[in-house]
Copies of this chain bind each other. A is one copy, B any other.
C-alpha cells in the first residue's frame, strides 16, 4: 500500500516516514503556496532520507484566509490548524492518493485534526488518514529520533523548515514587518532533519 506523508523536513514528519517504511511504499509530500522555496528545502531533506518526494501547490487563498485568522486572533493556532486541514483535503483530492499520514504526536496541539474532521475527510474523500506517532509521547519520540536521525535544532525564525508556519510568517513579514511576527508567534524551537543516522 502506498502512503503519502505530509513532510516539513522536521523530525516528526521524518520519523513518521521511517516508522511507515517497513510496511508501506512511502512518498513524501510538501505543501507550498509559492511564496518561499520551501518545497526545495524539503526535497533536499527527503533525498538525504532516501524517500521519493513531491511538492503539492496549495491555493493561495488558503494562506490568505490563514493570514486573516492569525491577525484576528493574535496567535497562530487556528490559522495553522486551518492550513493543515486544507492541506490534507487538497492531498486527498488526488485520485492516486489513498492513504495520508502526518507527524502528529500524542501530545501535539497544533496542527491537529479533530476526530470529526478526520472522519469527515475519510468519508467525503475516500481516503484513509493516519498518524504513526499519535500513540507515542515525547520521550519515546525523542529517543527514536536520537537513534535514527541527525537533527539540527534552533529558534523557529532561523531554522530552515518547510512547515505551514514558514510561508505564513513570510506573508506577515511582507505586509506587517518583522515586529509583527514576534508579536504573533511565540518563540519556540524547531527541528530540521539533516540525514539518517543509520539505515533501517
Contacts and interface: CB of A to CB of B under 8 A. Distances in A.
Given A135-B133, A135-B134, A128 B140 contact: yes
A86 interface: no
A106 B113 CA distance: 13
A64 to B, nearest CB: 31
Contacts of A23: 19, 144, 147-148, 200
Contacts of A133: 135
Interface string A137-173: 1011001100110000000000000000000000000
A56 interface: no
B134 A134 contact: yes
B139 A135 contact: no
Contacts of A122: 137
A108 B121 CA distance: 19
A129 B134 contact: no
A191 to B, nearest CB: 19
Interface residues of A, number: 28
Given A23-B19, A200-B22, A135 B130 contact: yes
B137 A135 contact: no
A121 to B, nearest CB: 11
A99 B137 CA distance: 11
Interface in A89-125: 99, 101, 104, 106, 115, 118, 122
Contacts of A189: none
A55 interface: no
11 contacts: A23-B147, A101-B135, A104-B135, A118-B137, A122-B137, A128-B137, A128-B140, A129-B137, A130-B136, A130-B137, A132-B135
Interface of A: 1, 19, 22-23, 99, 101, 104, 106, 115, 118, 122, 128-137, 139-140, 143-144, 147-148, 200
- For the complex of A and B, the 3 pairs showing the least CB-CB separation, nearest first, are A134-B135, A131-B135, A134-B134
